[in-house]
Amino acid sequence: MTEAILTSARAALAAAPPTGDPAYERYCRELAKRLAAHWPAVLDANAQDLARAEERGLSPVLLDRLRLTDAHLGRLEHLTEAVLNELGRVTARDPGVPIGDWGVRLRSPKPLGVVFMVYEARPTVTVEGALLPVAVGNAVLLRGGKEIARTNEALSAVAREALEAAGLPAHLVTVLDDPDRAQLRALLKRPDAVDVLIPRGSPSLIDYCRSASTIPVIASGGGVNHVYVHKSADLGLAAEVALDSKLPEPTACNTAEMMLVDAEVADDLVAAVLHAAERDNRQVTVRLDPRVPRPGGEAGGDSGAGGERPWRIDELQEHDLGREFLDATIGVRAVEGLDEALAHIRRHGSGHTEGVLAADRGVSEEFTRRVDAAAIVVNGSLRLHDGPTLGLGSEISISTGRMHVRGPVTLGSLVTHSWVVEAHGTLRSSVTAHRP
């Protein structure tokens, strides 16, 4: 079975037209059209997955990750339009650069090859995976979690129809339907047939893929992200950053897990966060370390008088350090200045997104010099770390690796290049090489 999957994917890659061919623009349009036409069937399949997940006792947060709505269709249609608009820039012919008086060098975009995406319970990733890599000429294998098996089956049919309508090989997209880990292990051991591995999901999933395979990885690392609040910061802004960096999408990889705040303003920051939560009735749990005073003498776990307030205070435990809460929870830890905050981030951060809030420009500059992460946000929400938001284009994931790409993995990151040398009959023996 594994051999047949790989053979079909590589045959499709070989039969596909070159990157930049008009067939890929047709595919983007056809995918959007067929998503809309088949959306009721996709929602029916998704409802079946949700019902099974509820029977298994999955938490409301995880159920929300599985759920598709009409709003998701709108976002996916917008994504296909964005990719369509970006294709020309990514695949445009290089005008070339003269080489001395004898030739021209230029770069020609080529697909990475067969891309294997391993992810968990977000069905929108299935569409993203069927769109971005394929739009620039790759073949893709998609393995989502068993929780979305029926949804993925419906989305697989949509992608297959779109490929055929665009005149592209049907096996450029293969949605794997075998939940057995044996198939995953077998594919991870095939660097001869799989060119790139893109794991998306929990740190344990990513670590497993890295350790079990020698296939080159574009790793979307876990989002153990922090915001350092210096004593010079605007605490009203800090409160809004804390809530905006966590509540809209608590399980996203670019959310904040911990606020590291200078001890002398820690109680004021907590008061500002709770006030902002109350003002807009935003539900949040704040975990405070022992060095941070409880607001108004509240005991740990108390949500306030009468339980009417939208916030809850809990105690920050040692095991919370370096952890993704995956719900509407944010930690607050007091630090004695920038050095302690940096030490905490080096020990517990995942290298994804880190932030600093400071009116003192010297502090923010020192923070950006010394923190090592895919993105560093100064005086703003961590959720700004996003390809479209940063004007970088549509993204398939956010990479925390150091090779090939770091940060948003956009269309331009899903191609490689061949050097084309227009030599005009020149022989090496007639050229004096430039020596630096």
Query: Which pLDDT tens digit goes with each residue over 355-393?
Result: 999 999 999 999 999 999 999 999 999 999 999 999 999
3-state SS track over the chain: CHHHHHHHHHHHHHHCCCCCCHHHHHHHHHHHHHHHHHHHHHHHHHHHHHHHHHHCCCCHHHHHHHCCCHHHHHHHHHHHHHHHHHHHHHHCCCCCEEECCCEEEEEEEEECCEEEEECCCCCHHHHHHHHHHHHCCCEEEEECCHHHHHHHHHHHHHHHHHHHHHCCCHHHEEECCCCCHHHHHHHHCCCCCCCEEEEECCHHHHHHHHHHCCCCECCECCCCCEEEECCCCCHHHHHHHHHHCCCCCCCCCCCCCEEEEEHHHHHHHHHHHHHHHHHCCCCEEEEECCCCCCHHHCCCCCCCHHHCCCEEEEECCHHHCCCCCCCCEEEEEEECCHHHHHHHHHHHCCCCEEEEECCCHHHHHHHHHHCCCCEEEECCCHHHCCCCCCCCCCEEEEECCCCCCCEEEEHHHHEEEEEEEECCCCCHHHCCCCCC
| Geometric angle at alpha carbon 75, from 70 and 80, rounded to 5° | 125
219 vs 407 pLDDT, higher one = 407
Q: What is the pLDDT of residue 435?
A: 60
What are the structural domains, with CATH classification, of the chain? 2-221+401-422 (3.40.605.10), 226-384 (3.40.309.10)
Q: Is the pLDDT of residue 103 over 60?
A: yes
Mean pLDDT of 114-127: 94
Q: What is the pLDDT of residues 213-272, one digit of tens each?
A: 999 999 876 789 999 999 999 999 999 999 999 999 898 889 999 999 999 999 999 999
Q: What is the pLDDT of residue 299?
A: 47
Q: What is the pLDDT of residue 205?
A: 85
Q: What is the pLDDT of residue 220?
A: 76
Q: What is the largest CA-CA distance in the chain?
A: 88
Q: What is the pLDDT of residue 434?
A: 63
Mean pLDDT of 161-184: 93
Q: Is the pLDDT of residue 409 over 60?
A: yes
Q: What is the pLDDT of residue 307?
A: 58
Mean pLDDT of 38-54: 97
Q: What is the pLDDT of residue 333?
A: 97
14 Cβ contact partners less than 8 Å away, ≥ 6 residues apart: none
Residue type, 141: L
408 Cβ contact partners less than 8 Å away, ≥ 6 residues apart: 385, 386, 387, 390, 392, 393, 395, 398, 399
Mean pLDDT of 72-84: 97
Q: Is the pLDDT of residue 302 over 80?
A: no
pTM comes to 0.90
Distance of CA 362 to the CA centre of its chain: 31
C-alpha–C-alpha distance, residues 422 and 359, integer Å: 54
Q: What is the pLDDT of residues 351-364, one digit of tens each?
A: 999 999 999 999 99
